C-alpha cells in the first residue's frame, strides 16, 4: 500500500476475530448483491471489478473489512458502476449523504475532473477519517468537502441560498432509510434539471418482496417498510425519470426532468 500505513489505520478499528479472518472477502464486505449465486458474484468481481480497481480503493476496501460495521460499505461493483456513470455524465459538482469509511466517496472523487467537487455529509467523522488517508494517497482529497452532522439541517440551510438550487450534477444517498423521502423533498431542488439522484439500498436485502413472517435481521425488518414506501413515491414522482438497477443491494437512479 503506497503511502498508507495500513497497520496504523487498522489498529484504530475494533476488530473481531471473525472479521479479521474474513477480511477482504465479499462475504463480509459489501456482499449485498441480489445475485443468489456467490460463485457468479465472485466471477463478476474477479473478472471485471478487481482488475480495474485503483490501488487506493482496494486498500480502503481491505481496511474496511476489519471494521465491525463493514456491511455498511459500498460494494466494489457498485463503486465501479458509480465511477462509470459519473464519467458518462461528465459530472463536476456532486454531493454524497452517508459516507461511512468512504468507498463510494473515493470512487466519486476519482471519477470527477481535477476541478470537480463532492460535498460529503455524515454524522460520524471518525469513520470518514479511517478512509481519508486513502483519499490523500489517491490525490483527490482536495475535491472533497466533508461536513459532520445531520444532513437534513444542512440541506435546509443550503436551500436558503438560491445559488444552490439546481447546482448539483449528481447526488448519492446512502444514509438513514427512514429519511429518504425527507431527503428527496430537498434534493429535488438542489439537483439540476438533467442531473441525477441515486438512492442506495432500494432492494434492501431482498426484503421488499419478503413475507411479513419471514425471518430477517432486526435492522432489515425495521427499515423494510420505509424502503418500500420510498420506492412507491419515486415511481409516482412526475418530476423525475427513474430506473432501479439491481446491482449490489439495489440503487434507484432519478433523473430530474422538470
Which position has the higher pLDDT, 184 or 16?
184
pLDDT band with cut points at 50, 70 and 90 for residue 1? very low
For residue range 84-105, list pLDDT tens digits in order.
999 999 999 999 999 999 999 9
For residue range 33-46, list pLDDT tens digits in order.
667 788 999 999 99
Which pLDDT belongs to residue 37? 84
Residue 206 has pLDDT above 90, yes or no: no
Query: Does the pTM exceed 0.85?
Result: yes
Residue 18 has pLDDT above 50, yes or no: no
Burial of 229 (0-12, 13-18, 19+ CB in 10 A): middle
List Cα–Cα distances, 15 to 24, 68, 71, 134, in angstroms: 13, 6, 14, 20
Distance CA 201, CA 104 (A): 13
pLDDT band with cut points at 50, 70 and 90 for residue 157? very high
Alpha helices for 22-177 (secondary structure H) = 38-44, 55-64, 76-89, 103-111, 125-137, 151-159
pLDDT band with cut points at 50, 70 and 90 for residue 216? confident
CB atoms under 10 Å from CB of 76, counted, come to 23
The CA-CA-CA angle for residues 222, 23, 109, to 5°, reads 75
- Could you tell me where the beta strands, DSSP code E, fall in the chain? 93-97, 117-122, 144-148, 168-173, 191-200, 240-245, 251-256
Distance CA 224, CA 109 (A): 31
Distance CA 175, CA 156 (A): 17
Contact between 34 and 250 (Cβ < 8 Å): yes
| Cα atoms in the Cβ-side hemisphere of radius 13 Å centred on 118 | 31
Which position has the higher pLDDT, 50 or 14?
50
Residue 30 has pLDDT above 50, yes or no: no
The CA-CA-CA angle for residues 26, 85, 63, to 5°, reads 30
Residue 146 has pLDDT above 70, yes or no: yes
Which pLDDT belongs to residue 102? 98
For 159-181, letters b (16+ CB in 10 Å) and e give: eeeeeeeebbbbbbbbbbbebbe
Which pLDDT belongs to residue 3? 55
Contact between 126 and 148 (Cβ < 8 Å): no
List domains and CATH numbers for the chain. 76-256 (3.40.50.150)
The CA-CA-CA angle for residues 246, 251, 257, to 5°, reads 115
Amino acid at each position: 500500500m503506497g503511502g498508507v500505513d495500513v497497520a496504523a489505520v487498522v489498529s484504530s478499528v475494533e476488530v473481531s476475530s471473525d472479521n479479521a479472518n474474513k477480511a477482504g472477502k465479499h462475504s463480509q464486505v459489501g456482499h449485498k448483491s441480489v445475485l443468489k449465486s456467490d460463485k457468479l458474484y465472485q466471477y463478476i468481481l474477479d473478472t471485471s471489478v478487481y482488475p480495474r480497481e485503483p490501488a487506493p480503493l482496494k486498500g480502503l476496501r481491505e481496511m474496511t473489512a476489519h471494521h465491525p460495521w463493514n456491511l455498511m460499505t459500498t460494494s466494489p461493483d457498485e463503486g465501479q458502476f458509480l465511477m462509470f456513470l459519473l464519467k458518462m455524465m461528465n459530472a463536476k459538482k456532486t454531493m454524497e449523504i452517508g459516507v461511512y469509511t468512504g468507498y463510494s466517496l473515493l470512487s466519486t472523487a476519482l471519477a470527477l475532473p481535477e476541478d470537480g467537487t463532492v460535498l460529503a455529509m455524515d454524522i460520524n467523522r471518525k469513520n470518514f477519517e479511517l478512509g481519508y488517508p486513502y483519499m490523500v494517497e489517491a490525490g483527490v482529497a482536495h475535491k472533497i468537502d466533508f461536513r459532520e452532522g445531520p444532513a437534513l439541517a444542512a440541506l435546509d440551510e443550503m436551500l436558503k441560498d438560491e445559488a444552490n438550487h439546481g447546482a448539483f450534477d449528481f447526488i448519492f444517498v446512502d444514509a438513514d432509510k427512514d429519511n429518504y423521502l425527507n431527503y428527496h423533498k430537498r434534493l429535488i431542488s438542489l439537483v439540476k434539471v438533467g442531473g441525477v439522484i441515486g438512492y442506495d439500498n432500494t432492494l434492501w436485502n431482498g426484503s421488499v418482496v419478503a413475507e411479513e413472517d419471514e425471518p430477517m435481521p432486526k435492522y432489515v425488518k425495521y427499515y423494510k417498510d420505509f424502503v418500500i414506501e420510498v420506492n412507491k413515491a419515486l415511481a409516482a414522482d412526475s418530476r423525475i425519470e427513474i430506473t432501479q438497477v439491481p446491482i449490489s443491494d439495489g440503487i434507484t437512479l432519478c433523473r430530474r426532468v422538470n
